[in-house]
């Protein structure tokens, strides 16, 4: 747990690191600009960052398990760390109807601690998805529909929320993310900085995380870290390969990563360095992913081996084409 909390503290201090908290289909995201005012506070058990656009607080918990991994994007790769708790310890309220909780005594900013929390009633496992307001009109409107599902036909509660733009507060056993920015219209683009997504179509799957995440059975991700990516900036714009950022995340992989993924990547790098031609390799999902990511990372780093193109052609046709990667920090949900 100490190692996990040290990682959280170190990464929250880095303005290029992004965070999310939620479930598959309902997620709050926190990030900040390097020159943005930020209040950072830490105790032995909590660390928080608050900006004018939003905030995050994460807590130390016994049994917290970081799992570092990489996934394949269209022509590149993403990298993240899932902070997981045992399934028996991660559950939140799982309310299925709009519910008034009361004043938010744990709000990140003191001026919001008298404002009222309402659980949206999404019924998901590891997060309570809430809004917070002190607006008398919205309070009256929402209280008239407490006990009803937001999905109930003709329920106007969601319309009231969209019109009023209250704060969104997502809470898990590992902490909370608060979003102060306006909610974009249905046809609008999410704002830069802290924001939320609620996607009913994905929520219907009842998944706790994307299928591409190698989370061991019995563990549930309750927060995610997206460290600075070596070939993409915070907005997903390509930049020259940054070996320091790459090495930093590979160190996280060594400490918290999947042994099979680490082993297959080492094997590929050794083979390419030795000038070996492509050969038949284990074809489990983790093996295929590890092979493709290792090759793409060598390509991005402009590895000079003459056999690298042959490996890319054999195992990763997309990665062997002209680079036009997806935003490497794009979140699966």
Same domain, 119 and 217: no
pLDDT value of residue 319: 55
Using CB atoms within 10 A of its CB, is residue 228 exposed (0-12), middle (13-18) or buried (19+)?
buried
Query: CA-to-CA distance for 149 and 51, rounded, in angstroms?
Result: 32
| Same domain (yes/no): 227, 321 | yes
Provide the whole-model pTM. 0.91
- What value does the mean pLDDT take over residues 37-57? 97
Which residue, 185, 236, 200, is CA-closest to 75? Answer: 236
Q: Which of 135-139, 167-171, 256-260, 326-330 has the lowest mean pLDDT?
A: 326-330
Residues 201 and 246 in one domain: yes
Task: Let me know whether 209 and 244 are in one domain.
Answer: yes
pLDDT band at 282; cut points 50, 70, 90: low
Q: Which of the 8 DSSP states describes residue 232? A: B
Q: Are 73 and 238 in contact (CB under 8 A)?
A: no
Among candidate residues 141, 169, 197, the one where a domain is terminated:
169
- Are residues 99 and 231 both part of a single domain? no
139 and 262 fall within a common domain? no
- Give the three-state DSSP class for 216: coil
Same domain for 164 and 224, yes or no, is no
Closest CA to 125 of 95, 158, 83: 95
For residue 63, give its domain range: 1-90+173-333
Q: Are 146 and 240 within one domain?
A: no
Q: Is a pLDDT exceeding 90 seen at residue 317?
A: no
Question: What's the average model confidence in pLDDT over 264-275?
Answer: 93
Same domain, 77 and 151: no
pLDDT given for residue 1 in this prediction: 53
The per-residue pLDDT for 328 is 29
Give CA–CA dist 207/266, Å, rounded.
32
* Of 126, 152, 169, the domain-final residue: 169
Looking at the structure of the chain, the number of domains it has is 2
Note whether 196 and 47 are same-domain residues.
yes
Lowest mean pLDDT among 22-36, 109-123, 317-331: 317-331
Asked if residue 180 and residue 321 are part of one domain, the reply reads yes
State the average pLDDT over residues 216-236: 93
pLDDT at 45 over 80: yes
* 47 and 193 part of one domain: yes
| pLDDT band per the 50, 70, 90 thresholds, residue 279 | confident
Last residue of a domain, one of 115, 150, 169: 169
Reduce the DSSP state of residue 49 to 3 states and report it. Answer: strand
- Flag the least confident range among 48-62, 93-107, 209-223, 282-296: 282-296
């Amino acid at each position: 747990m100490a190692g996990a909390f040290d990682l959280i503290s170190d990464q929250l201090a880095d303005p290029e690191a992004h965070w999310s908290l939620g479930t598959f289909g309902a997620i709050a995201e926190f990030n900040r600009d390097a020159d943005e005012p930020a209040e950072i506070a830490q105790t032995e058990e909590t660390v928080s960052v608050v900006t004018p656009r939003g905030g995050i607080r994460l807590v130390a918990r016994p049994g917290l398990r970081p799992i570092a991994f990489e996934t394949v994007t269209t022509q590149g790769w993403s990298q993240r760390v899932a902070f997981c708790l045992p399934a028996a310890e991660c559950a939140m309220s799982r309310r299925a109807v709009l519910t008034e909780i009361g004043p938010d005594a744990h709000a990140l900013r003191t001026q919001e601690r008298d404002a009222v929390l309402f659980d949206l009633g999404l019924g998901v496992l590891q997060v309570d998805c809430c809004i917070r307001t002190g607006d008398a009109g919205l309070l009256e409107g929402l209280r008239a529909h407490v006990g009803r599902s937001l999905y109930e036909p003709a329920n106007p509660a969601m319309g009231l929320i969209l019109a009023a733009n209250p704060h969104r507060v997502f809470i898990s056993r590992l902490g909370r993310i608060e979003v102060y920015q306006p909610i974009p219209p249905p046809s609008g683009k999410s704002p830069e900085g802290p924001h939320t997504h609620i996607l009913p179509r994905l929520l219907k799957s009842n998944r706790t995380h994307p299928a591409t995440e190698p989370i061991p059975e019995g563990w549930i991700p309750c927060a995610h870290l997206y460290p600075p990516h070596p070939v993409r900036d915070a907005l997903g714009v390509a930049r020259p390969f940054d070996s320091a950022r790459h090495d930093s995340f590979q160190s996280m992989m060594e400490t918290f990563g999947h042994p099979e993924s680490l082993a297959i990547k080492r094997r590929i790098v050794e083979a390419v360095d030795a000038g070996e031609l492509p050969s038949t390799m284990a074809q489990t999902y983790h093996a295929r992913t590890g092979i493709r990511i290792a090759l793409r990372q060598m390509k991005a780093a402009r590895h000079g081996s003459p056999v690298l193109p042959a490996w890319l052609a054999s195992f990763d046709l997309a990665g062997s084409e002209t680079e036009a990667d997806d935003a490497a920090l794009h979140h699966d949900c």
